[in-house]
Amino acid sequence: MSDIIASSSIYPDMPYIGAVYEILVSQMTTIHCWASFLEQPDRFHEHHQLRIALKQLRYSLDAFSPILCDSILHCVDDIKQLQDALGKLHDIDVLIASIQQRKQELARPIMKRKLYEGERSTRNSHKKLLSELLMQTQSRRDEQFRLCVDLWHTSNQRDIFGMLRSYLAEIDEQIQEYYHQHGSAEVNERSSSPYHE
């Protein structure tokens, strides 16, 4: 589950823009948490969770597109590119785990009977091929990992998430104004977040 930050402040009678704000803030915060592990190459689970969180944000931006400004919608392509790269990284991780599992199976001795020479030769050949495939796949993983890190740095240089944070701050001002005009006390009950700043 990638949602380590819950959208707990959504309630039935809040304005639509308020629900949009709470969902996007929750998803952005979740991405920020998982992204802190991105540059650690052995954090396979966290990389996968970051991909899921990016996908959820992308789907939310698509769903809310009728009320979002064009500059924010332009971020979707960058988010999708990073999400796709992390998806390929996860596919490679799954493949590596499968190869390692098969190697372990072949390494176990067969206790029921002695192997014939042909069987032993075949098993040894398979082990050798799997070792070569594992090395090639790990090399591909290293390349894909570097691509993911580069794409993340590029998105930060282009300030993709900074633009989203700024836009969320504008939405928050609209919400505050709405509650001010309607005299709702719920404005004071909303959770604080780094996007209110």
Could you state, in order of their start, the residue ranges of all structural domains in the chain? Answer: 16-196
Summarised one tens digit per residue, pLDDT across range 95-130 is 999 999 999 888 877 655 565 666 777 878 898 999
**168: amino acid identity, one letter:** L
Distance between CA 121 and CA 196 in Å, rounded?
66
Cβ-contact 170, 146 below 8 angstroms: no
Spatial neighbors of 195 by CB under 8 A, at least 6 apart, are 25, 28, 165, 168, 169, 172
Say what the pLDDT of residue 181 is.
82
Distance between CA 116 and CA 195 in Å, rounded?
68
- pTM summary value: 0.81
Summarised one tens digit per residue, pLDDT across range 3-20 is 555 556 677 777 888 888
